[in-house]
Amino acid sequence: MAAPTPVSAYLHSAAMVKAGVFLLARHYPVLSGTDLWLILVGGTGAVTFVYGAYVALLKHDFKGLLAYSTVSHLGLITLLFGLDTPMSAVTAVFHTINHAIFKASLFMAAGIIDHECGTRDMRRLSGMFKYMPWTATLGILAAGSMAGVPLLTGFLSKEMFFVETVGHPQFQGVAAWLLPVFATVAGMLPVAYSARFIHDVFFNGEPIELPRSPREPARWMRFPVEALVGLVLLVGCFPQLFVGPVLYAAPGAVLPLGVPEFKLAVWHGWNLPLVMSIAAFGFGLPQALVLTAIVIGFA
């Protein structure tokens, strides 16, 4: 967490942290297709997904929160490869792209806040929306994508993940409900830590003894965040147009037998994955407020 902000954004969104899942994706055609792959890769991804999110919830340093949320999302990508269906592999590639966009924008926004306020401690940072409204709006949109809010890019891959957990061919009978229930419960955690980040940094009263007086940064500092959040909105609202061609091509390296037919859309009607998403938000938001109160109480 000592790296300069542009370096953190690069490492935590696209480069070093993605090397492992990139290697996993390149080996997918050779190693997948067995029960052992499902158990080892899927199980490791599921545990990492939940553990990373749990640790993120308890961090006071908002850069630490974002770092452990990266661990969690890498676990989700690993879980998707472990589910071992053609569309779960496509979803893993899609979430790799999505995560790079919204996480880079979040780290850049976090760097601006750190630069202008002189601290990353969320116990001291409050009410930044009042002092930095435009930067706060960008940070809220990026965090909303991380949580999977509709019309933002993270919502699309999250819904595709939920779809892949419903009716998975390896889970039959009563066990068929285990995967959707796990996905819903685990889906609450990104909502919770994203909500905690938004609440504690941008709202929640007034700042406490900041080393510097917060204000909007210079225009050139904000432009990279604006460009990335613009992609979050464009892909989230018009996925078929802005990411469709890339997503039809990129999984070809993972699926040598061909990419299955699919259509990217914001609305697929009322179905079980949408209900799972609503449940994740419905329980994730109060969970964030309760945990924030507990963390502050024991701080």
The segment with the largest mean pLDDT, out of 78-82, 120-124, 188-192, 255-259, is 78-82
The total number of structural domains in the chain stands at 1
Q: Does residue 29 surpass a pLDDT of 90?
A: yes
Under 8 Å between Cβ of 80 and 45: yes
pLDDT at 14 over 90: no
Residues paired with 61 in a beta bridge: 121
Q: What is the pLDDT of residue 238?
A: 94
Between the alpha carbon of residue 21 and those of residues 17, 24, 72, 127, 156, the distances in Å are: 8, 5, 13, 37, 20
Domain that holds residue 57: 5-298
Tell me the average pLDDT across 123-145: 94
One-letter amino acid at 228 equals L
Q: What is the pLDDT of residues 261-283, one digit of tens each?
A: 888 988 888 899 999 999 988 88
> What pLDDT is stored for residue 17 in this prediction?
81
Q: What is the rounded average pLDDT of the residues 152-163?
A: 94
What confidence score (pLDDT) does residue 12 get?
66
Residue 289 clears pLDDT 80, i.e. is over it? no
Helices (H), 2-127: 5-13, 19-31, 35-37, 43-57, 62-83, 86-117
Query: Rounded to whole angstroms, how far apart are CA atoms 111 and 61?
Result: 12
Whether 112 and 236 have beta carbons less than 8 Å apart is answered as no
